[in-house]
Amino acid sequence: MLKIKLNEILIPGLCGLLAVVISVSLYADLTGRSGSSTEEAVGFITYRYRVAQRRYASRVIWEDVEQKDRVFNQDSIRTDDRSEAIITLSDGAKIEMDPQSMIVLIVRDKETVIETKQGSVLVRDAAGVLLKADINGKSTIVRPEGDVRFTLQDPVIEVQGTAIREDGKRMSGRTQIRDQLLTEIKNPFRMDAPVDNFRVFVADSAEIGFSWDGPQGQHTLEISNDRDVNDVIRTEHTRGNTTVKLPEGIYYWRLKAQDQVSPVHKFRIIRKIGIECMTPFPGANIKLSDSAPYVPLRWTESRLAVRYRVRVSHKADLSEPLIEKDLLRTGFSAPLVAGKYFWKVEAVGALMGSNTETVLQEFTVEDARKPDREAKVEEKAAQEVKTETTRSDKPVVVPPVLIFPGSGQQLDMAALDAIPFQWRAVPDAERYVIVLYNGTAGRTEVFRTETTQPGFMLRDLSVLDTGTFYWEVEVRSKGQSAKSQSAFTIVLSAQPDKPTLRQQ
């Protein structure tokens, strides 16, 4: 009886545990990323507005993509309603996706095939790209020559621009493909502005200037919310160019004259949202301590940014910046010594006109450790000078007081991309010799330089490693010299930012 009861408990329990394990494994397999660091990316998301999603070839789950995300071979990418995305391939080709569009990226034999499943794409600089679409089980493949718009409107494929079909037939202007037959659609208009896929970044609304040339007589300008021009929001009857004020949005426009119709061009009005400095707040007085030796700089995120450029200087015009660096994140910790500082952050977008920046702000840094530490060092140096002067009538050079890095200070290089060595200026100094030693295994000299200023910014981080380092400053004046030395430690608490695949 006991054995039967144990079986009644154990068997259902084991079955339940097995079901849980299988469910978790299946969920991880369905939702996990296949794009590992060992897989070579074929491009990245240059720009994304609102909702764009990607699905890996071996997955069934769609996931949202962000700007700067990498894309891989066999990836499917789609955009939502009122959304758009730009993909930059590794060879420089750009794929600009319309709202409610879907493509599959296929890399084979050093060529990239953009298979359009839905909607419309505009490709630029796409010499090594093929455009493909399937209708009724038949494939159409064209090779662009220059900028080409490729639109799938079942049962028709429309090509705007110059391209060569796989069978060698050349297309130019506006061509429709139905049942593999080519039909050239004459365009009576020359549409000058806004050009197809034009984008403007504004604070609120925008005055869009429409200019064209066409048949004599009255023309009708139609502005719509969709490429099929079913949702017309504005109609202008005019005999010449005109200007229309519009709010943020994605728009399509075309021209009509009697029974003649132009192609449809898309344009985009994007409202820029500025970024703001968060920490330090304007006019802040920051006191450094042993537990907080760095100044944290933080700012708000921009939806259009692919990176952030930070500048910190003693001067209000930000000339001669002490810090000038590009980051992917919205903050870092800066190694600053006592003094007054000005700073500004620029959100750098992938598209022209999309950059925004914070207002210039200032703050003050006070080294709370400085009075006691430096007073003792200066008192000791003065006593040594007094003693030497008593022994000899010749003047003795005062050894420099080392400020940063402080004795025993720990520097986290995950938050830094340079080390600003600082010391107190010595009167009548002709030059300073800076020497850096690696003290982890003995004391090996790894860097040496000279300067006439009481400070030096070390940017060559290849000479560094985690562990203990010694730095020495020798002051030379009128044939005499004096030196000071201090030790500090380098740690690495986190991995650095992931690199950008391609410089924008």
Between CA 272 and CA 356 the distance in angstroms is: 8
Q: Which of 422, 419, 488 is nearest to 454 (CA)?
A: 422
Model confidence band, residue 467 (pLDDT cutoffs 50, 70, 90): confident
Q: Are residues 51 and 83 in the same domain?
A: yes
Model confidence at 1: pLDDT above 70: no
Q: Which pLDDT band, with edges at 50, 70 and 90, does 17 fall under?
A: low
Residues 6+ apart with CB under 8 A from 187: 173, 174, 262, 263
In a domain, 381, yes or no: yes
> In sequence order, what E strands does 272-338 have?
277-279, 284-288, 295-299, 305-313, 323-327, 331-334
H-helix or E-strand containing 16?
helix 2-31
Mean pLDDT throughout 114-131?
A: 92
On whether residue 31 sits in a domain, the answer given is no
The pLDDT-based confidence of 298 (bands split at 50, 70, 90) is very high
Pair of tokens at residue 234: 């504005």
Furthest-apart CA pair in the chain: how many Å? 108
Q: How far is CA 364 from the centre of its chain?
A: 29
**Same domain, yes or no: 178 and 59:** yes
The answer, yes or no, to whether residue 503 has pLDDT greater than 70, is: no
309 & 356 share domain: yes
Q: What is the per-residue pLDDT for 20? A: 53
Q: Is the pLDDT at 502 greater than 50, yes or no?
A: no
Q: Do both 352 and 469 map to the same domain? A: no
The pTM of the full predicted model, rounded to 2 decimals, is 0.66
In a domain, 23, yes or no: no
> Which CATH number belongs to the domain containing residue 349 in this structure?
2.60.40
Q: How many structural domains compose the chain?
A: 4
Query: Considering the domain boundaries, does residue 281 fall inside one?
Result: no
Model confidence over 263-293: pLDDT tens digits? 999 999 999 888 999 999 899 999 887 667 7
- Flag whether pLDDT at 118 surpasses 80: yes
CB 264 within 8 A of CB 96: no
Q: Given this model, what pLDDT does residue 310 score?
A: 95
Lowest mean pLDDT among 127-141, 264-278, 369-383, 401-415: 369-383
Among the three residues 127, 159, 184, which one is the final residue of a domain in this structure?
184
Q: Is 37 a residue whose pLDDT tops 70?
A: no
Same domain (yes/no): 224, 261: yes
Tokens representing residue 465 in the block: 């490693």
* Measured CA distances, 332 to 127, 294, 499 (Å): 41, 9, 16
Could you tell me which residue, 416 or 359, shows the higher pLDDT? 359
Residues 161, 215, single domain; the answer is no
In this structure, are residues 416 and 435 in contact, taking their beta carbons and an 8 Å threshold? no
Domain membership of residue 1 (yes or no) is: no
Among 113, 81, 114, 120, which Cα is nearest to 100's?
Answer: 81
**What pLDDT is recorded for position 2?**
44
Domain boundary among 153, 184, 215: 184
Residue 504 confidence (pLDDT) above 60: no
118 and 68 fall within a common domain: yes
- What's the pLDDT score for residue 384? 52
Read off the pLDDT band of 33 (50, 70, 90).
very low
* CB neighbour list of residue 39: distance below 8 Å, 6 or more residues apart: 72
Tokens representing residue 197 in the block: 């896929």
Q: Which residue has the higher pLDDT, 60 or 497?
A: 60
Give the helix/strand (H/E) hosting 361: strand 361-367
Q: Does 80 map to a domain?
A: yes
476 or 58: which leads in pLDDT: 476
Same domain? For 362 and 374 the reply is: no
CATH number for the domain spanning 114: value is: 2.60.120
Res 314: pLDDT: 93
239 and 156 in a common domain = no
Report for 4-13, 217-226, 482-491: range of highest mean pLDDT: 217-226
Given a cut of 60, is residue 378 above it in pLDDT? no
Q: State the pairing for strand pair 111-124/129-135.
A: parallel
pLDDT of 347 above 80: yes
Q: Structure tokens of 479?
A: 């044939």
Residue 158 has pLDDT above 90, yes or no: yes
pLDDT band of residue 497 (cuts 50, 70, 90) is very low
User: End of a domain among 165, 184, 203?
Assistant: 184
| Tokens 């060879």, residue located | 91
Give the residues across from 482 on adjacent strands: 475
Evaluate whether residue 15 is within a structural domain.
Answer: no
Q: Backbone phi, then psi, for 389, in 5-degree steps?
A: -70, -35
Among the residue ranges 113-127, 236-250, 291-305, the one predicted with the least confidence is: 291-305
Residue 216 pLDDT class (50, 70, 90 cuts): confident
pLDDT in tens, 50-76: 899 999 988 889 999 988 899 999 999
Residue 107 within a domain: yes
What pLDDT does residue 453 have? 85
Q: Looking at residue 38, what is its pLDDT?
A: 46
In this prediction, residue 114 carries a pLDDT of 95
Q: Are 346 and 376 members of one domain?
A: no
What would the two tokens of residue 144 be?
Answer: 């662009």
Beta-strand pair 52-55/431-438: unpaired
Q: Residue 261 is part of which domain span? A: 190-271
pLDDT in tens, 334-345: 888 889 999 999
Residues 194 and 230 in one domain: yes
**Average pLDDT for the chain:** 84
Query: Strands 265-271 and 198-202, how do they pair?
Result: parallel
Torsion angle of C-alpha atoms 105, 108, 113, 117, degrees rounded to 10: -50
If you count DSSP H runs as helices and E runs as strands, how many of each does the chain have, helices first? 2, 41
**Whether residue 169 is found in the same domain as residue 53:** yes
